[in-house]
Amino acid sequence: MSTTTEYIVHHLTHNNVVLSGERGGFWSIHIDTFSMSLLLGFVYLFIFTLLARRAKVANPNKLQLFFELIIDMVSQQVKDIYHGGKSKVIVPLSLTIFCWIFLMNLMDLLPVDLINLANHLSGNPEAKWRAVPSADVNATFAMSISVFFLIIGYGIKAKGVGGWLMEFISVPFGIYAMPLNIIFQLLELITKPISLSLRLFGNMYAGELVFILIALLPWHSQWLLGVPWAIFHILIITLQAFIFMVLTIVYLSMAGEKH
């Protein structure tokens, strides 16, 4: 029988495979985060591919209408926020970000001990597996770093290499304050992916931890607290996916605007 601390540590420990160096070091990979992210990415692609092939103009079913509602919502957000002209990438990118992160966050609603039960049935009760990819700071940073490179790419596309570099060294205080401008520009670039990643990670990690603490209570108390928290957490799950998507659109729009 494990102690409370051992129970919490077990549930918050990743299935980590060392590529080089010591366990848990930089050259290692969280198999659970990578596998769940990849699986949920394929789930998203499968659902939308299937819906696209079976879409009907006349008498669409309720599932098609639901996903059309999501697509319209994302398209409207892009229309309202993105001012960099027409782009064939922004809407699909925003839709992918919202749906993929939502599916990752949704894994937080799985029963805490479901993975443990599967491990016991497989004869390996000590195996570790975290099912919520967005509760891993490595996953959220990877997504935000991708947005970081998109910000630079869209800035260069809109202004050209020369224009982007000139803005980098001359804004906001003019060309004669170049060192100070570079410091401010670097701070702005770096804080965007950091804020994106830590906001998503912090909310999902906290939610996962609350579910673990509820699972430590007697079984008759778990439903009393777990169900209201799960219902409230659905709002957090959706809101965090929406915020990540909206901020991505905002950052890409800012990258293409001239000061």
Question: DSSP per residue over 44-79, as a string?
Answer: HHHHHHHHHHH--SSS--HHHHHHHHHHHHHHHHHH
Looking up tokens 């990258």 gives 255
**Segment 23-50, tens digit of pLDDT:** 556 677 899 999 999 999 999 999 999 9
Q: Identify whether 195 is a catalytic site residue.
A: yes
Q: How confident is the model at residue 1 (pLDDT cuts 50, 70, 90)?
A: low
Task: Determine the pLDDT at residue 98.
Answer: 97
| Dist. CA 45–CA 22, nearest whole Å | 36
Tell whether the torsion through CA atoms of 71, 77, 80 and 82 is positive or negative.
negative
Going by the DSSP 8-state scheme, the letter that residue 12 receives in this structure is T
**Amino acid (1-letter code) at residue 258:** K
Q: For residue 210, what are the contacts with CB-CB under 8 A and spacing of at least 6?
A: 229
pLDDT for 253 equals: 92
Per-residue confidence (pLDDT) for residue 133, from 0 to 100: 95
* Catalytic one of 134, 203, 221, 253: 203
pLDDT, tens digit, 9 for 90 and up, residues 46-103: 999 999 898 888 888 888 999 999 999 999 999 999 987 777 899 999 999 999 999 9
119 labelled catalytic: no
Whole-prediction pTM:
0.90
Task: Of 69, 90, 48, 85, give the one whose Cα is nearest residue 249.
Answer: 90
In the set 54, 195, 197, 221, the catalytic residue is 195
